[in-house]
Structure 1
Amino acid sequence: MRADRLISILLLLKKRGKVTTKELAQELEVTQRTIHRDMEALISAGIPIFSERGKGGGWSIMDNWQNRLSWLKNEEVQSLFIPSSNNLLADLGFNEISEKAREKLYSSVPYQHKEEAIKLWERVYIDTSTWKDRTEHQAFITDIKRALFNEKKLKIIYEKYNGKSDERIIEPLGLVSKGDKWYLVALKKGEYRNYRVSRIKSVIMLDEEFTYPSYFNLQSYWKKSKKEFVNNLPRYIVQVKVLSSIIPRLKFTGKFVEVIEVGNNDIDQWLPVTLSFHSEEEAVEYIFGFGNKMKVANPVHLKDTLIIMAKDVIDMYKE
Protein backbone atom coordinates (compact mmCIF):
# COMPACT_ATOMS: atom_id res chain seq x y z
CA MET A 1 0.00 0.00 0.00
CA ARG A 2 2.89 2.36 0.58
CA ALA A 3 4.00 1.81 -3.02
CA ASP A 4 0.56 2.97 -4.19
CA ARG A 5 0.86 6.08 -2.03
CA LEU A 6 4.34 6.94 -3.31
CA ILE A 7 3.12 6.71 -6.89
CA SER A 8 0.11 8.88 -6.01
CA ILE A 9 2.45 11.50 -4.55
CA LEU A 10 4.50 11.57 -7.75
CA LEU A 11 1.38 11.87 -9.89
CA LEU A 12 0.04 14.73 -7.74
CA LEU A 13 3.36 16.58 -7.94
CA LYS A 14 3.46 16.16 -11.71
CA LYS A 15 -0.13 17.32 -12.08
CA ARG A 16 -0.20 20.28 -9.69
CA GLY A 17 3.39 21.42 -9.77
CA LYS A 18 3.53 22.35 -6.08
CA VAL A 19 1.69 20.71 -3.17
CA THR A 20 1.96 21.31 0.57
CA THR A 21 2.44 18.57 3.14
CA LYS A 22 -1.00 19.31 4.57
CA GLU A 23 -2.66 19.00 1.16
CA LEU A 24 -0.94 15.69 0.47
CA ALA A 25 -1.91 14.35 3.89
CA GLN A 26 -5.57 15.27 3.35
CA GLU A 27 -5.62 13.92 -0.20
CA LEU A 28 -4.08 10.56 0.75
CA GLU A 29 -5.72 10.32 4.20
CA VAL A 30 -2.49 9.94 6.17
CA THR A 31 -0.69 12.05 8.75
CA GLN A 32 1.70 14.84 7.80
CA ARG A 33 4.43 12.87 9.53
CA THR A 34 3.78 9.98 7.12
CA ILE A 35 4.08 12.36 4.15
CA HIS A 36 7.46 13.57 5.42
CA ARG A 37 8.67 9.95 5.68
CA ASP A 38 7.41 9.24 2.17
CA MET A 39 9.24 12.28 0.80
CA GLU A 40 12.45 11.17 2.47
CA ALA A 41 12.04 7.74 0.84
CA LEU A 42 11.48 9.26 -2.60
CA ILE A 43 14.43 11.62 -2.28
CA SER A 44 16.65 8.77 -1.07
CA ALA A 45 15.61 6.81 -4.16
CA GLY A 46 16.94 9.59 -6.36
CA ILE A 47 13.69 11.36 -7.27
CA PRO A 48 14.45 15.10 -7.76
CA ILE A 49 11.95 16.45 -5.23
CA PHE A 50 12.60 19.69 -3.35
CA SER A 51 10.69 21.79 -0.83
CA GLU A 52 10.15 25.53 -0.48
CA ARG A 53 9.42 26.97 2.96
CA GLY A 54 7.21 29.89 3.86
CA LYS A 55 4.03 31.29 2.35
CA GLY A 56 3.34 29.85 -1.07
CA GLY A 57 5.82 27.04 -0.45
CA GLY A 58 5.40 23.31 -0.77
CA TRP A 59 6.83 20.23 -2.44
CA SER A 60 7.80 20.26 -6.13
CA ILE A 61 9.44 17.96 -8.63
CA MET A 62 11.83 19.01 -11.40
CA ASP A 63 9.94 19.83 -14.60
CA ASN A 64 12.15 17.73 -16.85
CA TRP A 65 11.91 14.61 -14.71
CA GLN A 66 9.98 11.77 -16.33
CA ASN A 67 7.94 9.59 -14.01
CA ARG A 68 9.03 6.37 -15.66
CA LEU A 69 10.45 3.90 -13.17
CA SER A 70 13.75 3.30 -14.93
CA TRP A 71 15.60 3.93 -11.67
CA LEU A 72 14.18 0.73 -10.17
CA LYS A 73 15.66 -2.74 -10.54
CA ASN A 74 13.50 -5.58 -11.90
CA GLU A 75 13.02 -7.15 -8.43
CA GLU A 76 12.04 -3.75 -7.00
CA VAL A 77 9.45 -3.22 -9.73
CA GLN A 78 8.01 -6.68 -9.04
CA SER A 79 7.72 -5.92 -5.33
CA LEU A 80 5.40 -3.00 -6.18
CA PHE A 81 3.02 -5.43 -7.90
CA ILE A 82 2.73 -7.98 -5.09
CA PRO A 83 -1.05 -8.22 -4.61
CA SER A 84 -2.59 -6.91 -1.41
CA SER A 85 -5.41 -8.61 0.46
CA ASN A 86 -8.74 -7.54 -1.04
CA ASN A 87 -10.44 -8.03 2.34
CA LEU A 88 -8.03 -5.73 4.15
CA LEU A 89 -8.11 -3.08 1.42
CA ALA A 90 -11.91 -3.18 1.48
CA ASP A 91 -11.89 -2.73 5.26
CA LEU A 92 -9.81 0.42 4.79
CA GLY A 93 -11.85 1.65 1.84
CA PHE A 94 -8.95 1.33 -0.60
CA ASN A 95 -9.96 -1.64 -2.75
CA GLU A 96 -10.94 0.18 -5.96
CA ILE A 97 -8.42 2.99 -5.39
CA SER A 98 -5.55 0.49 -5.08
CA GLU A 99 -6.55 -1.21 -8.32
CA LYS A 100 -6.57 2.10 -10.20
CA ALA A 101 -3.25 3.15 -8.66
CA ARG A 102 -1.65 -0.11 -9.73
CA GLU A 103 -2.91 0.38 -13.29
CA LYS A 104 -1.33 3.84 -13.33
CA LEU A 105 1.83 2.38 -11.90
CA TYR A 106 1.95 -0.26 -14.64
CA SER A 107 1.77 2.42 -17.32
CA SER A 108 4.95 3.96 -15.88
CA VAL A 109 6.94 0.72 -15.69
CA PRO A 110 9.80 0.51 -18.24
CA TYR A 111 9.08 -1.87 -21.10
CA GLN A 112 11.74 -4.41 -20.05
CA HIS A 113 10.02 -4.89 -16.67
CA LYS A 114 6.37 -4.99 -17.77
CA GLU A 115 6.13 -8.71 -18.49
CA GLU A 116 7.46 -9.82 -15.09
CA ALA A 117 5.32 -7.23 -13.30
CA ILE A 118 2.09 -8.32 -14.94
CA LYS A 119 2.87 -12.00 -14.32
CA LEU A 120 3.25 -11.33 -10.61
CA TRP A 121 0.05 -9.30 -10.58
CA GLU A 122 -1.94 -12.01 -12.38
CA ARG A 123 -0.42 -15.19 -10.92
CA VAL A 124 -0.06 -14.41 -7.21
CA TYR A 125 -3.08 -13.89 -4.99
CA ILE A 126 -2.97 -12.98 -1.28
CA ASP A 127 -5.91 -14.31 0.76
CA THR A 128 -5.77 -13.41 4.47
CA SER A 129 -9.28 -14.67 5.22
CA THR A 130 -10.09 -17.92 6.98
CA TRP A 131 -11.79 -20.90 5.26
CA LYS A 132 -15.11 -19.88 6.73
CA ASP A 133 -16.77 -16.52 6.13
CA ARG A 134 -15.55 -13.78 8.43
CA THR A 135 -17.58 -13.26 11.58
CA GLU A 136 -15.50 -10.38 12.99
CA HIS A 137 -17.35 -7.05 12.95
CA GLN A 138 -15.18 -4.23 11.55
CA ALA A 139 -17.79 -1.45 11.40
CA PHE A 140 -15.70 1.28 13.01
CA ILE A 141 -12.47 1.08 10.99
CA THR A 142 -13.43 4.10 8.87
CA ASP A 143 -14.06 6.23 11.97
CA ILE A 144 -10.86 5.00 13.60
CA LYS A 145 -8.85 5.72 10.46
CA ARG A 146 -10.24 9.27 10.29
CA ALA A 147 -9.24 9.99 13.89
CA LEU A 148 -5.88 8.31 13.37
CA PHE A 149 -4.96 10.45 10.35
CA ASN A 150 -6.26 13.66 11.94
CA GLU A 151 -4.58 12.92 15.28
CA LYS A 152 -7.83 13.26 17.23
CA LYS A 153 -8.67 11.47 20.45
CA LEU A 154 -11.32 8.75 20.48
CA LYS A 155 -14.00 7.87 23.00
CA ILE A 156 -14.75 4.16 22.68
CA ILE A 157 -16.92 1.54 24.36
CA TYR A 158 -14.79 -1.62 24.58
CA GLU A 159 -15.91 -5.14 25.43
CA LYS A 160 -13.53 -7.04 27.69
CA TYR A 161 -12.92 -10.81 27.71
CA ASN A 162 -15.49 -11.30 30.47
CA GLY A 163 -18.21 -9.76 28.30
CA LYS A 164 -18.40 -6.51 30.29
CA SER A 165 -17.88 -3.18 28.54
CA ASP A 166 -16.48 0.15 29.66
CA GLU A 167 -15.79 3.61 28.24
CA ARG A 168 -12.24 4.72 27.43
CA ILE A 169 -10.55 7.84 26.04
CA ILE A 170 -7.61 6.86 23.84
CA GLU A 171 -5.06 8.36 21.44
CA PRO A 172 -4.98 6.19 18.28
CA LEU A 173 -1.49 5.43 16.96
CA GLY A 174 -2.02 2.77 14.30
CA LEU A 175 -4.07 -0.07 12.83
CA VAL A 176 -2.55 -3.54 12.56
CA SER A 177 -3.95 -6.42 10.54
CA LYS A 178 -3.11 -9.90 11.83
CA GLY A 179 -4.67 -12.67 9.78
CA ASP A 180 -8.25 -11.55 9.20
CA LYS A 181 -8.40 -9.54 12.42
CA TRP A 182 -7.73 -5.85 13.01
CA TYR A 183 -6.09 -4.35 16.10
CA LEU A 184 -5.91 -0.72 17.15
CA VAL A 185 -2.72 0.40 18.89
CA ALA A 186 -3.34 3.41 21.09
CA LEU A 187 -2.18 5.35 24.11
CA LYS A 188 -4.39 5.32 27.21
CA LYS A 189 -3.19 7.59 29.99
CA GLY A 190 0.34 7.43 28.59
CA GLU A 191 0.47 3.62 28.29
CA TYR A 192 0.38 1.57 25.09
CA ARG A 193 -2.68 -0.63 24.61
CA ASN A 194 -3.81 -3.03 21.88
CA TYR A 195 -7.54 -3.15 21.17
CA ARG A 196 -9.26 -5.75 19.00
CA VAL A 197 -11.40 -3.72 16.61
CA SER A 198 -14.24 -6.27 16.55
CA ARG A 199 -14.72 -5.73 20.30
CA ILE A 200 -15.09 -1.96 19.96
CA LYS A 201 -18.83 -1.34 20.34
CA SER A 202 -18.93 2.43 19.88
CA VAL A 203 -16.60 5.11 18.51
CA ILE A 204 -16.81 8.89 18.84
CA MET A 205 -14.06 11.12 17.45
CA LEU A 206 -13.47 13.98 19.88
CA ASP A 207 -12.51 17.53 18.90
CA GLU A 208 -9.45 17.30 21.15
CA GLU A 209 -6.21 16.71 19.27
CA PHE A 210 -3.10 14.97 20.59
CA THR A 211 0.56 15.08 19.65
CA TYR A 212 1.60 11.94 17.80
CA PRO A 213 4.83 10.69 19.47
CA SER A 214 7.71 11.33 17.07
CA TYR A 215 9.64 8.35 18.42
CA PHE A 216 6.85 5.81 17.86
CA ASN A 217 7.28 3.22 15.10
CA LEU A 218 4.21 1.03 14.62
CA GLN A 219 5.99 -1.91 13.00
CA SER A 220 8.73 -2.08 15.66
CA TYR A 221 6.20 -1.73 18.46
CA TRP A 222 3.96 -4.50 17.13
CA LYS A 223 6.83 -6.95 16.67
CA LYS A 224 7.97 -6.32 20.25
CA SER A 225 4.41 -6.52 21.62
CA LYS A 226 3.71 -9.79 19.81
CA LYS A 227 6.96 -11.33 21.05
CA GLU A 228 6.21 -10.33 24.65
CA PHE A 229 2.67 -11.72 24.36
CA VAL A 230 3.88 -15.10 23.10
CA ASN A 231 6.66 -15.32 25.70
CA ASN A 232 4.22 -14.55 28.52
CA LEU A 233 1.67 -17.17 27.51
CA PRO A 234 1.31 -19.85 30.22
CA ARG A 235 2.69 -23.28 29.34
CA TYR A 236 1.16 -26.48 30.69
CA ILE A 237 3.24 -29.52 29.70
CA VAL A 238 1.59 -32.93 29.45
CA GLN A 239 3.16 -36.28 28.59
CA VAL A 240 0.83 -38.71 26.90
CA LYS A 241 0.93 -42.01 25.03
CA VAL A 242 -0.90 -42.33 21.73
CA LEU A 243 -1.65 -44.92 19.09
CA SER A 244 0.35 -44.42 15.93
CA SER A 245 -2.88 -44.06 13.91
CA ILE A 246 -3.56 -40.58 15.34
CA ILE A 247 -0.07 -39.13 14.83
CA PRO A 248 -1.11 -37.44 11.55
CA ARG A 249 -3.98 -35.72 13.40
CA LEU A 250 -1.59 -34.42 16.04
CA LYS A 251 0.41 -32.64 13.35
CA PHE A 252 -2.67 -30.57 12.53
CA THR A 253 -3.27 -29.42 16.07
CA GLY A 254 -5.19 -26.29 17.00
CA LYS A 255 -3.77 -22.98 18.10
CA PHE A 256 -3.97 -23.91 21.80
CA VAL A 257 -1.71 -26.96 21.69
CA GLU A 258 1.83 -27.59 20.47
CA VAL A 259 3.45 -30.97 19.84
CA ILE A 260 6.89 -30.68 21.44
CA GLU A 261 8.23 -34.20 20.94
CA VAL A 262 7.21 -37.58 19.54
CA GLY A 263 9.14 -40.58 20.85
CA ASN A 264 9.59 -44.16 19.64
CA ASN A 265 7.16 -47.04 20.06
CA ASP A 266 7.36 -48.82 23.40
CA ILE A 267 6.72 -52.52 23.88
CA ASP A 268 2.92 -52.20 23.79
CA GLN A 269 2.86 -50.15 20.55
CA TRP A 270 2.06 -46.82 22.23
CA LEU A 271 4.04 -43.74 21.18
CA PRO A 272 5.18 -41.28 23.88
CA VAL A 273 4.30 -37.66 22.97
CA THR A 274 4.94 -34.41 24.84
CA LEU A 275 2.29 -31.70 24.40
CA SER A 276 2.17 -28.07 25.49
CA PHE A 277 -1.07 -26.24 26.34
CA HIS A 278 -1.99 -22.85 27.76
CA SER A 279 -3.93 -24.34 30.66
CA GLU A 280 -4.91 -27.57 32.36
CA GLU A 281 -8.51 -27.16 31.21
CA GLU A 282 -7.44 -27.02 27.55
CA ALA A 283 -5.26 -30.11 28.07
CA VAL A 284 -8.09 -32.14 29.60
CA GLU A 285 -10.60 -31.22 26.87
CA TYR A 286 -8.07 -31.94 24.10
CA ILE A 287 -7.03 -35.36 25.48
CA PHE A 288 -10.64 -36.33 26.20
CA GLY A 289 -11.48 -35.72 22.54
CA PHE A 290 -9.19 -38.56 21.42
CA GLY A 291 -11.05 -41.13 23.53
CA ASN A 292 -9.19 -44.44 23.94
CA LYS A 293 -6.48 -43.49 21.45
CA MET A 294 -4.60 -41.23 23.90
CA LYS A 295 -3.78 -41.74 27.58
CA VAL A 296 -2.05 -39.52 30.15
CA ALA A 297 1.38 -40.39 31.52
CA ASN A 298 2.16 -37.15 33.39
CA PRO A 299 0.97 -35.28 35.36
CA VAL A 300 -0.72 -38.26 37.01
CA HIS A 301 -3.60 -36.27 38.59
CA LEU A 302 -5.00 -35.57 35.08
CA LYS A 303 -6.06 -39.23 34.95
CA ASP A 304 -8.53 -38.65 37.80
CA THR A 305 -9.80 -35.47 36.14
CA LEU A 306 -10.45 -37.35 32.90
CA ILE A 307 -12.22 -40.18 34.75
CA ILE A 308 -14.56 -37.67 36.42
CA MET A 309 -15.26 -36.00 33.06
CA ALA A 310 -16.00 -39.37 31.44
CA LYS A 311 -18.41 -40.33 34.26
CA ASP A 312 -20.20 -36.97 33.93
CA VAL A 313 -20.71 -37.57 30.21
CA ILE A 314 -22.05 -41.10 30.85
CA ASP A 315 -24.43 -39.79 33.53
CA MET A 316 -25.65 -37.06 31.19
CA TYR A 317 -26.63 -39.57 28.51
CA LYS A 318 -28.30 -41.86 31.07
CA GLU A 319 -30.76 -39.13 32.00
Structure 2
Amino acid sequence: MMARSNSHDRLRRLELLAAQLKQEGFCTIKDLALSHDVSERTIARDLQLMREQGLPIEADRGRGGGVRLDRHWGIGRLNLSYAEAVDLLISISVAEQMKSPIFLASLASIRRQLVASFSAEKRERVDRLKSRILIGETASTFVQTSVVSTNGKAVQKLHQGFLDQTNLTILYEDERSKVTTREIEAHYLLLNYPIWYVLAVDHFRGALRTFRCDRILSAELTSTRFRTLPRASFAQPLEGNVLLK
Protein backbone atom coordinates (compact mmCIF):
# COMPACT_ATOMS: atom_id res chain seq x y z
CA MET A 1 0.00 0.00 0.00
CA MET A 2 2.86 2.38 0.86
CA ALA A 3 4.61 1.73 -2.46
CA ARG A 4 1.40 2.39 -4.37
CA SER A 5 0.85 5.62 -2.44
CA ASN A 6 4.44 6.76 -3.10
CA SER A 7 4.08 5.96 -6.80
CA HIS A 8 0.84 7.97 -7.00
CA ASP A 9 2.48 10.88 -5.15
CA ARG A 10 5.41 10.89 -7.56
CA LEU A 11 3.21 10.80 -10.66
CA ARG A 12 1.20 13.70 -9.29
CA ARG A 13 4.39 15.62 -8.45
CA LEU A 14 5.70 15.09 -12.01
CA GLU A 15 2.47 16.60 -13.41
CA LEU A 16 2.72 19.59 -11.10
CA LEU A 17 6.43 20.05 -11.87
CA ALA A 18 5.73 20.13 -15.61
CA ALA A 19 3.01 22.75 -15.15
CA GLN A 20 5.18 24.82 -12.79
CA LEU A 21 8.22 24.80 -15.09
CA LYS A 22 6.05 25.74 -18.07
CA GLN A 23 4.33 28.60 -16.26
CA GLU A 24 7.01 30.15 -14.05
CA GLY A 25 10.08 30.16 -16.28
CA PHE A 26 13.43 29.24 -14.75
CA CYS A 27 13.18 27.64 -11.29
CA THR A 28 16.09 26.48 -9.14
CA ILE A 29 16.17 22.91 -7.87
CA LYS A 30 16.28 24.28 -4.32
CA ASP A 31 13.08 26.28 -4.84
CA LEU A 32 11.35 23.31 -6.48
CA ALA A 33 12.33 21.06 -3.56
CA LEU A 34 10.91 23.56 -1.07
CA SER A 35 7.75 24.02 -3.13
CA HIS A 36 7.01 20.27 -3.26
CA ASP A 37 8.35 19.44 0.24
CA VAL A 38 10.92 16.90 -0.99
CA SER A 39 14.72 16.79 -1.13
CA GLU A 40 16.80 18.39 -3.89
CA ARG A 41 18.02 14.90 -4.81
CA THR A 42 14.39 13.79 -5.33
CA ILE A 43 13.73 16.78 -7.61
CA ALA A 44 16.90 16.04 -9.59
CA ARG A 45 15.72 12.44 -10.12
CA ASP A 46 12.26 13.67 -11.14
CA LEU A 47 13.75 16.06 -13.71
CA GLN A 48 15.93 13.30 -15.14
CA LEU A 49 12.90 11.02 -15.49
CA MET A 50 10.98 13.82 -17.20
CA ARG A 51 13.84 14.26 -19.68
CA GLU A 52 13.87 10.50 -20.36
CA GLN A 53 10.13 10.72 -21.08
CA GLY A 54 10.84 13.31 -23.76
CA LEU A 55 10.05 16.58 -22.00
CA PRO A 56 12.36 19.34 -23.29
CA ILE A 57 13.71 20.70 -20.01
CA GLU A 58 16.11 23.59 -20.53
CA ALA A 59 18.87 24.49 -18.08
CA ASP A 60 20.34 27.96 -17.57
CA ARG A 61 23.99 27.47 -16.68
CA GLY A 62 24.50 31.12 -15.75
CA ARG A 63 24.79 32.52 -12.26
CA GLY A 64 21.62 31.90 -10.31
CA GLY A 65 20.26 29.82 -13.20
CA GLY A 66 17.67 27.09 -13.05
CA VAL A 67 15.54 24.79 -15.21
CA ARG A 68 12.34 25.23 -17.19
CA LEU A 69 10.24 23.61 -19.91
CA ASP A 70 10.66 24.86 -23.45
CA ARG A 71 8.19 27.74 -23.86
CA HIS A 72 6.79 26.22 -27.05
CA TRP A 73 6.00 22.88 -25.40
CA GLY A 74 2.42 22.07 -24.34
CA ILE A 75 1.93 20.08 -21.14
CA GLY A 76 -1.05 18.13 -22.42
CA ARG A 77 -4.55 17.49 -21.07
CA LEU A 78 -5.57 19.02 -17.77
CA ASN A 79 -5.72 16.28 -15.14
CA LEU A 80 -7.22 17.55 -11.90
CA SER A 81 -7.30 15.65 -8.64
CA TYR A 82 -10.62 15.22 -6.82
CA ALA A 83 -9.85 18.08 -4.41
CA GLU A 84 -8.68 20.39 -7.21
CA ALA A 85 -11.78 19.67 -9.30
CA VAL A 86 -14.04 20.48 -6.36
CA ASP A 87 -12.14 23.71 -5.66
CA LEU A 88 -12.50 24.80 -9.28
CA LEU A 89 -16.22 24.07 -9.36
CA ILE A 90 -16.71 25.97 -6.10
CA SER A 91 -14.79 28.92 -7.54
CA ILE A 92 -17.11 28.93 -10.56
CA SER A 93 -20.18 28.88 -8.28
CA VAL A 94 -18.79 31.77 -6.23
CA ALA A 95 -18.02 33.79 -9.38
CA GLU A 96 -21.57 33.25 -10.62
CA GLN A 97 -22.96 34.37 -7.25
CA MET A 98 -20.95 37.61 -7.55
CA LYS A 99 -22.89 38.28 -10.81
CA SER A 100 -19.98 39.94 -12.59
CA PRO A 101 -21.13 40.57 -16.21
CA ILE A 102 -17.53 40.45 -17.49
CA PHE A 103 -16.81 36.87 -16.42
CA LEU A 104 -20.20 35.14 -16.55
CA ALA A 105 -20.40 34.49 -20.30
CA SER A 106 -18.28 31.31 -20.42
CA LEU A 107 -18.65 29.91 -16.91
CA ALA A 108 -21.56 27.57 -17.68
CA SER A 109 -19.68 26.14 -20.66
CA ILE A 110 -16.51 25.72 -18.59
CA ARG A 111 -18.45 23.90 -15.88
CA ARG A 112 -20.09 21.54 -18.38
CA GLN A 113 -16.76 20.67 -19.97
CA LEU A 114 -15.12 20.16 -16.60
CA VAL A 115 -17.86 17.86 -15.30
CA ALA A 116 -17.96 15.97 -18.62
CA SER A 117 -14.26 15.16 -18.21
CA PHE A 118 -14.88 13.37 -14.90
CA SER A 119 -15.37 9.66 -14.55
CA ALA A 120 -18.81 8.58 -13.31
CA GLU A 121 -17.32 7.85 -9.87
CA LYS A 122 -15.67 11.27 -9.63
CA ARG A 123 -18.87 13.01 -10.76
CA GLU A 124 -20.79 11.29 -7.97
CA ARG A 125 -18.17 12.22 -5.35
CA VAL A 126 -18.04 15.84 -6.53
CA ASP A 127 -21.84 16.13 -6.51
CA ARG A 128 -22.00 14.81 -2.94
CA LEU A 129 -19.37 17.26 -1.80
CA LYS A 130 -20.87 20.22 -3.66
CA SER A 131 -24.12 19.65 -1.78
CA ARG A 132 -22.18 20.40 1.42
CA ILE A 133 -20.96 23.79 0.16
CA LEU A 134 -23.51 26.57 0.48
CA ILE A 135 -23.36 30.01 -1.15
CA GLY A 136 -25.31 32.68 0.70
CA GLU A 137 -25.72 36.42 0.52
CA THR A 138 -22.90 38.95 0.77
CA ALA A 139 -21.97 39.77 4.37
CA SER A 140 -23.04 43.13 5.78
CA THR A 141 -20.59 46.02 5.71
CA PHE A 142 -20.36 45.82 9.51
CA VAL A 143 -19.36 42.15 9.39
CA GLN A 144 -16.90 42.73 6.53
CA THR A 145 -14.99 45.30 8.59
CA SER A 146 -14.20 42.57 11.16
CA VAL A 147 -12.55 40.18 8.69
CA VAL A 148 -9.01 39.16 9.65
CA SER A 149 -6.33 37.30 7.71
CA THR A 150 -6.80 33.53 7.70
CA ASN A 151 -4.13 31.10 8.88
CA GLY A 152 -3.09 29.26 5.72
CA LYS A 153 -2.05 26.04 7.47
CA ALA A 154 -5.25 25.98 9.52
CA VAL A 155 -7.38 26.45 6.41
CA GLN A 156 -5.50 23.64 4.66
CA LYS A 157 -6.23 21.27 7.56
CA LEU A 158 -9.86 22.41 7.63
CA HIS A 159 -10.11 21.73 3.89
CA GLN A 160 -8.74 18.22 4.38
CA GLY A 161 -10.97 17.44 7.35
CA PHE A 162 -14.00 18.66 5.42
CA LEU A 163 -13.15 16.55 2.34
CA ASP A 164 -12.28 13.41 4.31
CA GLN A 165 -15.07 13.85 6.92
CA THR A 166 -12.53 13.66 9.73
CA ASN A 167 -12.83 15.43 13.09
CA LEU A 168 -10.60 18.43 13.71
CA THR A 169 -9.13 19.90 16.87
CA ILE A 170 -9.13 23.67 16.44
CA LEU A 171 -7.98 26.70 18.39
CA TYR A 172 -10.75 29.28 17.98
CA GLU A 173 -10.96 32.97 18.84
CA ASP A 174 -14.50 34.29 19.27
CA GLU A 175 -15.81 37.83 18.76
CA ARG A 176 -14.78 38.73 22.35
CA SER A 177 -11.18 37.59 21.65
CA LYS A 178 -11.61 34.56 23.93
CA VAL A 179 -9.56 31.59 22.70
CA THR A 180 -10.78 28.01 23.26
CA THR A 181 -9.84 24.54 22.03
CA ARG A 182 -12.65 22.67 20.27
CA GLU A 183 -13.11 19.31 18.56
CA ILE A 184 -15.44 19.77 15.61
CA GLU A 185 -17.03 17.89 12.73
CA ALA A 186 -17.02 20.16 9.65
CA HIS A 187 -20.32 19.15 8.01
CA TYR A 188 -21.00 22.17 5.75
CA LEU A 189 -19.21 25.26 4.50
CA LEU A 190 -21.16 28.48 3.99
CA LEU A 191 -19.92 31.55 2.10
CA ASN A 192 -21.38 34.91 2.99
CA TYR A 193 -18.86 36.73 0.82
CA PRO A 194 -16.10 37.40 1.76
CA ILE A 195 -16.46 35.28 4.92
CA TRP A 196 -16.50 31.49 5.03
CA TYR A 197 -18.27 29.74 7.90
CA VAL A 198 -18.05 26.13 9.08
CA LEU A 199 -21.35 24.54 10.13
CA ALA A 200 -20.16 21.96 12.60
CA VAL A 201 -20.87 19.64 15.48
CA ASP A 202 -18.95 21.11 18.41
CA HIS A 203 -18.00 18.34 20.85
CA PHE A 204 -16.75 20.93 23.36
CA ARG A 205 -20.26 22.39 23.64
CA GLY A 206 -22.13 19.22 22.72
CA ALA A 207 -24.15 21.15 20.14
CA LEU A 208 -24.30 22.41 16.56
CA ARG A 209 -22.24 25.57 16.10
CA THR A 210 -21.10 27.97 13.38
CA PHE A 211 -17.42 28.98 13.23
CA ARG A 212 -15.87 31.73 11.15
CA CYS A 213 -12.90 30.37 9.19
CA ASP A 214 -10.87 33.55 9.67
CA ARG A 215 -11.09 33.07 13.45
CA ILE A 216 -9.64 29.55 13.40
CA LEU A 217 -6.10 30.06 14.70
CA SER A 218 -4.90 26.48 14.19
CA ALA A 219 -6.33 23.09 13.21
CA GLU A 220 -5.18 19.48 13.44
CA LEU A 221 -6.76 16.31 12.09
CA THR A 222 -7.84 13.56 14.48
CA SER A 223 -8.36 9.86 13.74
CA THR A 224 -12.16 10.08 14.18
CA ARG A 225 -14.47 10.04 11.15
CA PHE A 226 -18.06 11.32 10.97
CA ARG A 227 -21.16 10.95 8.79
CA THR A 228 -22.69 14.10 7.32
CA LEU A 229 -25.89 15.28 9.01
CA PRO A 230 -28.83 16.46 6.86
CA ARG A 231 -28.75 20.18 6.01
CA ALA A 232 -32.03 20.57 7.90
CA SER A 233 -30.13 19.84 11.12
CA PHE A 234 -28.48 23.25 10.69
CA ALA A 235 -31.71 25.13 9.99
CA GLN A 236 -31.17 27.61 12.82
CA PRO A 237 -27.62 28.65 11.85
CA LEU A 238 -28.79 28.97 8.24
CA GLU A 239 -31.82 31.10 9.05
CA GLY A 240 -31.80 34.29 7.02
CA ASN A 241 -29.41 33.02 4.35
CA VAL A 242 -30.55 32.73 0.74
CA LEU A 243 -28.74 29.63 -0.48
CA LEU A 244 -27.96 28.26 -3.90
CA LYS A 245 -28.32 24.56 -4.59
Q: TM-score, normalised by structure 1?
A: 0.31
Q: Give the structure, 1 or 2, with the largest relative contact order (CA under 8 Å, sep 6 or more).
A: 2
Q: TM-score, normalised by structure 2?
A: 0.39
